[in-house]
Amino acid sequence: MPVIKVRSSLREYEVHLGTVHDFLRHLASLEHKLFVVDQNVWRCHADGILSALPRSETITFPALEERKTLEGVQEIYEHLLERSAKRNLTLITVGGGILQDVTGFAASTLYRGINWVFIPTTLLAQADSCIGSKTSLNYGRYKNLIGSFYPPSTIWIDPSFLRTLHKLDFYSGLGEVVKLHIMAGEEKTRQYLGSYDSICALDMSTLQRTIRTSLEIKIDYISDDEFDLGRRNMLNYGHCIGHALESVSDFRIPHGQAVVAGMVLANDIAQRRGILSEEKRRFIETRLLLPSLKVKAKPSDLDAMDIIDAISKDKKRIGSGLVLVMLTEAGEMVRANDVEAQEVRAALEEVANLLCEGSRF
């Protein structure tokens, strides 16, 4: 069974890829534990994969963006304290990135840190967010403004959870997968394209291989920059504008889909700046990005003033210009801190019709 070891100055941890049944039985046998399970995951798998979970030590939580707040964390605190939680308790999360953020933040702050195990059930969480130690909460309309660095002690990835994942959530995760493969260069990009049909057909061996590759690419960016002070910033390719699209749409556009749209817009600006050719931009757009862009944006989601205002509030901004991570013709990632509002406005005008086209399902 594949195991990936992730170095961290906080604590090293392992990512296991494979069937989760035996591991769940082991967790269920622990003396002090609480399972927090996504409501939808529980509905789909309570009598199947999750049948070993003790009902009295399992709670469900709605994985909604509006619950990814301090109030959501307080709900987890209450459940833990009702059980007289001490530092020897293990908190076990079964769900996607939203639940990861809420429970991870709770685990990192209760008693200054309790043991935390994460079993990701969405493609986005399995292929991307499960590693890297970040927990992030929203504050008002500010995306991921509050957070901590706190890795799980163990992560267990079972791709079979993806069989019950909503299509839009699957393609949202695929947005992060394609981003990582683009960042890794031409060889990984071609590998992704060759596997695309099998990935979408939910072939388990292909999914496991693709998830592992995605995590290995991300590890290359975070291993020497755990606290996001340098090279790890490049992982924000597609995120700078993507987070703004999420906020302006009141999170109707899910994260991974917003990242895909953000990459389309970032590539347009990169071409205008002369660092990316039209040929490469069009190849990436038509072969890699649009096939995984399934959500239909509304004209109001792309309001230039609202988008620019949201980008200006980005926590990564350090100067008067807007921040944007872009791809170059050589396949390198660069961070620009001097992007002008007019550049974003021009890109939005250029691709608005493309992003507002009907659903591609």
Domain positions in the chain? 3-164, 167-355
Task: Spell out the residues 6+ positions from residue 325 whose beta carbon is closer than 8 angstroms to its own.
Answer: 233, 234, 236, 237, 238, 239, 240, 266, 333, 334, 335, 336
Q: Has residue 359 got a pLDDT over 70?
A: no
For the stretch 207-223, pLDDT in tens is 999 999 999 999 999 98
Residues 6+ apart with CB under 8 A from 209: 195
Higher confidence at residue 82 or residue 85?
82
Average pLDDT over residues 288-294: 94
Higher pLDDT, 131 or 10: 131
Domains 3-164 and 167-355 share a fold: no
Q: What is the pLDDT of residues 29-79, one digit of tens each?
A: 999 999 999 999 999 999 999 999 999 999 999 999 899 999 999 999 999
Per-residue confidence (pLDDT) for residue 153, from 0 to 100: 96
Cα 276 → chain centroid: 26
Percentage of residues in the chain having pLDDT higher than 90: 88
The DSSP string of 37-56 is EEHHHHHHHTTTTTTTS-GG
Distance CA 178, CA 184 (A): 10
Q: What percent of the chain has pLDDT over 70?
A: 98
In this prediction, residue 168 carries a pLDDT of 93
Instruction: Please compute the mean of the pLDDT values over residues 154-179 and round it to a whole number.
Output: 97
Burial 175-213 (b: 16+ CB within 10 A, else e): bbbbbbbbbbeeebbeebeebbeebbeeeeebbbbbbbb
**What is the CATH code of the structural domain delimited by 167-355?**
1.20.1090.10
Is the pLDDT reported for residue 319 higher than 90?
no
Q: How confident is the model at residue 180 (pLDDT cuts 50, 70, 90)?
A: very high
When the pLDDT of each residue in the chain is averaged and rounded to a whole number, the result is 94
For residue range 113-133, list pLDDT tens digits in order: 999 999 999 999 999 999 999
Segment 143-157 shows an average pLDDT of 95
pLDDT value of residue 16: 98
For the residues of 258-327, what is the DSSP string, one character each? HHHHHHHHHHHHHHHTTSS-HHHHHHIIIIIIGGG------GGGG-HHHHHHHHHT-TT--SSSEEEEEE
Helix (H, G, I), strand (E, B) or coil at 163: helix
Q: Is the pTM of this model over 0.75?
A: yes
Asked if 358 and 296 count as a contact pair (C-beta separation under 8 A), the reply is yes
Q: With 80 as the cut, is the pLDDT of residue 316 above it?
A: no
Are the C-beta atoms of residues 36 and 94 closer than 8 Å to each other?
Answer: yes
Residue 219, token pair as written in the block: 């590890």
Report how far residue 146's alpha carbon sits from residue 140's, in angstroms, rounded to the nearest whole number: 11
Count other C-beta atoms under 10 Å from residue 351's C-beta: 18
The per-residue pLDDT for 314 is: 74
Q: Is the pLDDT of residue 206 over 80?
A: yes
Least confident of 149-163, 298-312, 315-329: 315-329
Joined together, the tokens standing for residue 347 give 């890109």
Q: For the domain bounded by 3-164, which CATH number is listed?
A: 3.40.50.1970
Instruction: State the number of CA atoms in the 13 A half-sphere of 185 facing the CB.
Output: 4
Query: Which candidate, 199, 217, 114, places its Cα nearest to that of 162?
Result: 199
What is the average pLDDT across 234-259? 94
Residue 358 has pLDDT above 80, yes or no: no
Task: Specify the length of the chain in residues.
Answer: 361
Query: What integer pLDDT is reported at residue 266 of this predicted model?
Result: 98
Number of helices (H), then strands (E), belonging to the chain: the values are: 13, 11
**Section 277-292 average pLDDT:** 96
Higher pLDDT, 319 or 190: 190
